[in-house]
Structure 1
Amino acid sequence: MRVAAAIASLVLLAACDMGTEEREAVASTRTVQRGYAPVPPGTIPRGASAQAAALAPPGPERTPALLARGEERFRAFCSPCHGLSGRGDGPVVSRGFAPPPSYHEERLRALAPEQIVMVVTQGRGRMFPYADRVLPEDRWAIAHYVKELQARGIGAASGQKSTTP
């Protein structure tokens, strides 16, 4: 009796792992892999218009609360590479990464907040895009904080003068 029960159990267990008919299309996680189906022309992803509106210039009004949020987000996302002062001397540079440009260079001081938002969104050079990590309103906050760093002259090179007294 016990032998028959053991054999029945083994048969049931063996049947549980039979897989699917398309065994080549099954990954190790047992999910079915399907071929790529292109997105039909003329379709727009959900939320795309709301995101485009959130990124449209001129962006939110520059307020002390926005600058405080920008500083917080800057410290979290930007300072590892750009450093707290924006000079491109973040901790990753001391670990062998190439330094990013200083925010206090003339070509970067000339950027408008909209342009900074687009760089954060799309990335540039070695900087990868942060669109999937930073919310659109936080990108604006970071851009205004960077402009504030530049205006205060924090971290300016020794030959550059601050634009504020």
Structure 2
Amino acid sequence: MTQQRKYTTYQSSDFWADGASARPLPRGASAQHDLARDASAKAPPAMTAALLKRGKDQFTVFCSPCHGASGDGDGVIVQRGFPHPPSYHSDDLRSAPAQHFFEVITNGYGVMYSYASRIEPADRWAIVAYIRALQLSRQPALASRKAQ
């Protein structure tokens, strides 16, 4: 088992005419589940209590260290000298579309790095739903009008 005949990364090969040991992907190939993942990234799911609970849980783990528990941008990381992220309660972010938050979580923005490899698309949408709930919590008049 310790001595196996195999090709290592970028090792040349006499088997193929081009001399490479690795084969290029066929045209149009995509990784398993990528199509479903791409489809889930296009539209947010319906708002439910379970979605908000999941969003709160994920927000607490991934977002609150910088953004703070209430979304004001005053998390523990900021208290240790890192730059302040914007408050979710600013006019700009209250009027931003949900897709904006999803894209920022996915691709990062400013000094925030991408969470695409850490947070699944469904959980990103749950976080976006929770951010919207945080924003509504600061505008009780607007929240009561939407409930009617």
TM-score (norm 2): 0.77
Partner of 1:34: 9
Superposed CA RMSD in Å reads 2.7
Q: Whose radius of gyration is greater, 1 or 2?
A: 1
Percent of aligned positions with the same letter in both sequences?
42
Cα 1:94/1:162, change in 2 over 3 Å? farther
Aligned to 1:51: 37
Contact 1:103–1:109 (CA<8 Å) still a contact in 2?
A: yes
**Aligned residue number for residue 57 of structure 2:** 72
- Following superposition, the deviation at residue 163 of structure 1 comes to 3.5
Q: Which amino acid aligns with 1:48?
A: D
Aligned length: 131
The residue that corresponds to 1:145 in the other structure is 130
Q: In 1, Cα distance between the equivalents of 2:105 and 2:141?
A: 25
Q: Which residue of 1 aligns with 2:113?
A: 128
**Runs of 5+ in structure 1 lacking a partner?**
1-18, 21-30, 155-160
Question: Structure 1 residue 47: deviation in Å?
Answer: 1.5
Q: Which runs of 4+ in 1 moved over 4 A?
A: 36-41
TM-score (normalised: structure 1): 0.69
Letter in 1 for 2:39: A
Indicate conservation of the 8 Å contact 1:153/1:163, yes or no.
no
Can you give the 5+ residue segments of structure 2 that lack an aligned partner in the other structure? 12-21
Deviations 1:36-73 (A, max 9, x none): 9665653322221010011121x210011111111111
- Aligned partners of 1:162 and 1:76: how far apart in 2? 30
CA distance in structure 1 between the aligned counterparts of 2:103 and 2:130, rounded to whole angstroms: 15
